[in-house]
Structure 1
């Protein structure tokens, strides 16, 4: 009984820093003609779902570079308590026929996680989504909207929020990322 209580308590604490929902993951469609070479470079986090692994960082920037083995070097940087935090990971597309369904991990001890590009124009915005079913009863979601600049024009926000809504992804879960006062 004590183990059950401890496990339930840990899940409740984790749930406060993640987006959990009842039911299965929404059915989404990734971008069909995805070109990783156009996607490489710097992207700035504009909107995100709460994710405990990001902590209380601001000014989050993701940089993607092709590695010699065909994988992608992912370097995320942000500022927390005045200090620059960097996380370096590895990404790849496991199925070359569906190149927008990438997988990424930031530790050799961690499994790869979904990094699905639902929509990008390569020059202004990208919409990334990840969802994992939990025993068919609930699911955990992550979503990010990134921009090539530290701001994003409202026309792109509207377009991507409409896309999210069409898939049943709750846009009320998006938090606005702080991208001011960044060095």
Structure 2
């Protein structure tokens, strides 16, 4: 059995470009209506994320969102590598359609912009974020994060957010806990 060169190419792009590849298109996911960006700004700790084989075993992952002069949002991500060194990345996010401010597009270090959709947040405790990209209409890649204003989040809230994402037909089995113990910040 030989594989189609197009299928191999699409699969290669999915693995290189994204997070968790699946056959088919991205599902329709509802985002926060009338997101208040000012309330969303500030520090968020990563509680869970979809497993991604390229990422290392970083711990202490935290993101800071701040408003830039051009109206975009600066995203400053930091984490600790297994060797103890700090890993930082600075990104730029903005809503391509200003009537839906919870559907952001983000880029880091000149990479192509990818979706960063805020599916749920109460602004003071938790945030559920999802990203999905269709590739040639055959494969989609997605990624998700559960964030908290503190280094921990109660199990009931985490379960509620996982279930909410699952209600859109998203396979949530890729979620992995992010270690937030013994962090220097």
TM-score by length of 2: 0.88
Gaps of 5+ in 2: none
Query: How do residues 169-180 of structure 1 correspond to structure 2 at under 5 angstroms?
Result: 169-180=170-181
Does 2:153 align with 1:165?
Answer: no
Aligned match of 1:86 = 88
Could you say what secondary structure the match of 2:97 adopts?
coil
Q: RMSD across aligned C-alpha pairs, in angstroms?
A: 2.2
Flag as ranges the 4+ runs of structure 1 deviating above 2 A. Answer: 10-15, 50-56
Match runs of 1:132-151 below 5 Å: 132-151=133-152
Structure 1 gap ranges (5+): none
Q: Is the 8 A contact 2:80 2:87 kept in 1?
A: yes
Equivalent pair of 2:125/2:148 in contact (CA under 8 Å): yes
| Partner deviation per Cα, 1:106-157 (whole Å, 9 max, x = no partner) | 122x221100000000011101101111222221001111000111111211
Question: Counterparts of 1:122-137 in structure 2 under 5 Å?
Answer: 122-137=123-138
Other-structure match for 1:107: 109
Counterpart secondary structure, 1:157: helix
Is the deviation greater in 53-62 or in 83-92?
53-62
Quote the residue 1:56 is aligned against: 57
Shift of 1:33: 2.0
